[in-house]
Amino acid sequence: MKVSTSLETQKTTFSFEFFPPQTPNAADELFHTINDLTPLEPSYVSITYGSGGSTRDITHDLVIRLITETKLNVVAHLTCVNSSQDEILAILNKYFQSGIENIMALRGDPPKGESVFVPHEKGFKYAAELVSFIKKHFPDMCVGIAGYPEGHPESPNRLKEIELLKVKVDQGSDYICTQLFFDNRDFYDFCERCELAGIHVPIIAGIMPITSYKTMIRMAELALGARYPARLLKALSRAEDDEYFAKVGIHWATQQVFDLLDHGVRGIHFYTLNKSRGTLSIYESLGVTKSSSLA
């Protein structure tokens, strides 16, 4: 099922994101972990690339295995990194023939060790070009794009940033899925600025439960950044051990989800970091055992 169809038929979509490990054996383990979520009936699951497209082949194989061997709806990430147009077209053909209907189109981060994105000489420089290419060759594919409630890490001009987002939408994007955020006011402000710019596609909120200090530091160090509200940091600072730290982080994310639902958010996308504990805890707090119960 296309994500756009889920957004039309469900009051709120719930989805999970995973990143593929570096080896085929680890990917096999992740396959079973993701498959275990089937009883929750998520609207979809998405599989990312590694840094700089480093796990591209493993991602492709895992996506195809999920779509052919499980009942899960799958969104495949596709980036411009280190790929020519011919290579991207070959990937899209493979996905199309395997029954993949959903693509998350991204420019992608620079390969590890590089600080600046350099496009392939026969590839694309911007995600908008990738979106246009997908829609030209596969007009029926559902295409999602990324949004940045806290601002894109490479864009000092927030006005220009929204203009560039609208370009991606105008090229045929069906929905926006945001990067993670920890203050819902950032998300609501982002949605209002999109509305003012004439962006009217559904916007899905990206949520990541913090389950460890290591995870928190990692998110702050990544290029996407992360703005931690003082109130959250204060609560986390009182944590006496790792277990309590995780409880605080999961509680915070749960309150975010409750507030987003109260405000009629179109979808919640959980960044799981390949760990289900935080997401499952939130489901339990919501009082449901599967996402369709909230449709």
Identify the CA nearest to 171 among candidates 146, 144, 140, 135. 135
d(CA 154, CA 135): 26
Q: What residues act catalytically? A: 17
DSSP-assigned states of every residue in 154-169: T-S-HHHHHHHHHHHH
- Amino acid letter for position 92: L
Backbone dihedral region for residue 82 (phi beyond 0: left; psi -120 to 50: alpha; all else: beta) = left
Q: Which two tokens stand for residue 262?
A: 């109260």
pLDDT at 295 > cutoff 60: no
> Per the domain annotation, does 261 fall within a domain?
yes
Query: Residue 293: CB partners within 8 Å, gap ≥ 6?
Result: none
Residue 158 belongs to what domain range? 3-289
Please report, for the domain that includes residue 181, its CATH number. Answer: 3.20.20.220
Q: What type of residue sits at position 82? A: N
Q: Is residue 294 part of a domain?
A: no
Find the range with the poorest average confidence among 19-28, 145-154, 283-292: 283-292
Kindly provide the b/e burial profile for residues 40-52, where b requires at least 16 CB atoms within 10 angstroms of the residue's own CB.
bbbbbbbbbbbbb
Residue 27 placed within a domain: yes
Amino acid at 261: L
pLDDT in tens, 169-188: 999 999 999 999 999 999 99
Q: What tens digit of pLDDT does each residue of 101-116 get?
A: 999 999 876 556 555 6
From first CA to last CA, the distance across the chain in angstroms is: 15
Note whether residue 277 is domain-resident.
yes
Domain count, the chain: 1
User: How many residues in total does the chain contain?
Assistant: 295
Residue 121 has pLDDT above 60, yes or no: yes
Percentage of residues of the chain with pLDDT beyond 90 = 52
Has residue 271 been placed in a domain?
A: yes
pLDDT of residue 215: 82
Is pLDDT of 56 > 60?
A: yes
Kindly tell me the burial class for residue 184, based on how many C-beta atoms sit within 10 Å of its own C-beta (0-12, 13-18, 19 or more).
Answer: buried
In a domain, 164, yes or no: yes
pLDDT at residue 190 above 90? yes
Say if residue 54's pLDDT is above 70. Answer: no
Backbone angles phi, psi at 270, to 5 degrees: -90, 125
Q: How confident is the model at residue 200 (pLDDT cuts 50, 70, 90)?
A: very high
pLDDT digits (tens, 9 = 90+) for 77-89: 998 877 889 999 9
Asked if the structure places residue 104 within a domain, the reply is yes
